[in-house]
Structure 1
Amino acid sequence: MNDHHDAPTTRFPRVTDADPRDRTAPIGRPVPDRDPAPSAPDGTAGAEAAAPERAAERTPTLLEQMGGPTGIVASTIPVVVFVVANVLADLRTAIYAAVGAGVLVLLWRLVRRDPVMPAISGLLGVGVCALVANQTGEARGFYLPGLLYSGALGVVALVSIVARWPLAGVIWHGINGHGTEWRADPRLVRAYGWATAVWSATFLAKVGVQGALYLADAETALGVARLAMGYPLTALAILATVLIVRRAERDRPAPA
């Protein structure tokens, strides 16, 4: 009897037929459709992958929506161009130069892919001023919307102090993306009230000086005053606000 004919025959799969990409696991161990993300010991699996999503959901701050410091400066360029052109040339040249500067600023920000809202708002503002100047036929008409705007801001700032919603605090925390928790601290409310008073005095000083020049029909002096009381006074108001707020923050009692 030949015993080897009675032994069971074992068949092995052909290795050459296997797909090299096959990742079949041993029996009882299913193969996942994809490799899971590595998990940290504290259970923060995929935290790194979720970080970009959280960053994308972050609401831009007010300063970012305004285009940053460069956006704020760019929005004022058309006004500066009008003031200079009116002093050096005539009204019509100044109007064309200001509107052209606004268009160029908008195109420049489009090419750089920067936020365009500051440039659009600046172009709209200079358009309104140019329209008033063109309708009145006087260069001083260009400054009238700015005078009215400064007067309105000065009054609103005073009202915000009385209402205990000082405008400086609202804008400061809005720019930094904070909430309104600062209003629970009387020290901060008082500090922002003083800072808002500085801004109100700045706006009303512009109205007083430039308004007197407007009534006197001193167009050249009005343009020079517009430039001189623009960035310098704004810079002083910002510096005063920073110093007042920092002092209030430094003098706050430490939490228990």
Structure 2
Amino acid sequence: MSDDEPRKDAAGPAASDILGAALGGAARRAGLDPGQSASTGHIVWHAMGGWRGILESVLPTLVFVLVWTITVDPQTHQGDLWLAVGLSVGLAVVFTAVRLIMRSPASAAIGGLVATGAAAALALWTGRAADNFILGLVTNGAYGTALLISALVGWPLIGLAVGWLMNDGTAWRADRRKRRVFFWLTIAWAALFAARLAVELPLFLTDQVTALGTLKLIMGLPLFAPMVAVTWLAVRGLYPKAGADVSEPSSPSGQ
């Protein structure tokens, strides 16, 4: 990316405003609003959804992997796909029902249920357990590609989202420092999705279900959380007034 003056694209600002509003709105709903007066630890925890969000994200995949691994026949190398899928989808249904009963925001749980159900249906249709993870692979590829392209063409998606959240619009493109930071943040997120794809795709193609599911979990929240923290700190550094009243806790657990 060049540090020259931002490109003048008549169609860009209008499209960027729409995209920035969509991305910024999604970030705000996830608790990632740089205008908030909150510690980094609080923001990361909120972005993961707290204990409930972590369980909703991890347990269905964990149960699928455990059940499949435990029931694998040493001769056929096949596990009980129906049982693994049934328990995984069942957990997603329970999580969604609990949110609906408690009248708490259920959009994330419903989205997770739809994704889990679609992946399970595909695996049952093909009879191949590894296909339970194919939607995740497609998602990583799509997100990574979109982020990379946006950075390379000079309209990094992180910048569009932050610009909308901070009422900065696309004015940040006239600031060389902001452009550079948003470029590298977007590249970093693209690299995260690319790394997941690079590690998981060979396992998917070779039908290594247990390893695939395990690495999916390892490269999920454990990598997502520090990326959120880095992004939050970098953005707050660009907009210090928004975080001027924020006091970080002295305990390492809050970092």
TM-score, reference length from structure 1? 0.65
**One-letter code aligned to 1:86:** W
Match of 2:209 among 215, 219, 238: 219
Q: Deviations over 1:186-207 (max 9, x none)?
A: 3212101101111111101111
Structure 1 unaligned blocks of 5 or more = 1-59, 251-256
Name the counterpart of 1:92.
Answer: 82
Q: Does structure 1 conserve the Cα–Cα contact (< 8 Å) formed by 2:173 and 2:179?
A: yes
Q: Any idea what SS the aligned residue of 1:113 has?
A: coil
Structure 1 segments of 4+ aligned residues over 6 angstroms from their partners: none
Name the counterpart of 1:83.
Answer: 65
Q: Any idea what SS the aligned residue of 2:61 has?
A: helix
Superposed, 1:70-219 pairs within 5 Å as: 70=49, 73=54, 76-77=57-58, 78-89=60-71, 90-172=80-162, 176=165, 178-180=167-169, 181-219=171-209
Name the counterpart of 2:221.
Answer: 231
Q: Deviations over 1:159-186 (max 9, x none)?
A: 1102222122234455x47452433423
Name the counterpart of 1:10.
Answer: none
Q: Deviations over 1:107-138 (max 9, x none)?
A: 11112211121111111101111011111212
**One-letter code aligned to 1:200:** A
2:176, 2:65 → 1: CA distance? 43
Higher relative contact order (CA 8 A, sep 6+): 2
Q: Any idea what SS the aligned residue of 1:164 has?
A: coil
1:183, 1:75 → 2: CA distance? 38
Q: Does structure 2 conserve the Cα–Cα contact (< 8 Å) formed by 1:167 and 1:196?
A: yes
Structure 2 unaligned blocks of 5 or more = 1-23, 32-45, 72-79, 241-255
Q: Any idea what SS the aligned residue of 1:95 has?
A: helix
| Greater gyration radius | 1
CA distance 1:138–1:228, shift in 2 (3 Å): same
Question: How far off its partner does 1:72 sit?
Answer: 5.2
Instruction: State the percentage of identical aligned residues.
Output: 35
Q: Does structure 2 conserve the Cα–Cα contact (< 8 Å) formed by 1:74 and 1:119?
A: no
2:86, 2:166 → 1: CA distance? 38
- The structure with the greater share of residues assigned to helix is 2
1:97, 1:196 → 2: CA distance? 36
Number of matched pairs: 190
Match of 2:26 among 59, 62, 76: 62
2:159, 2:54 → 1: CA distance? 22
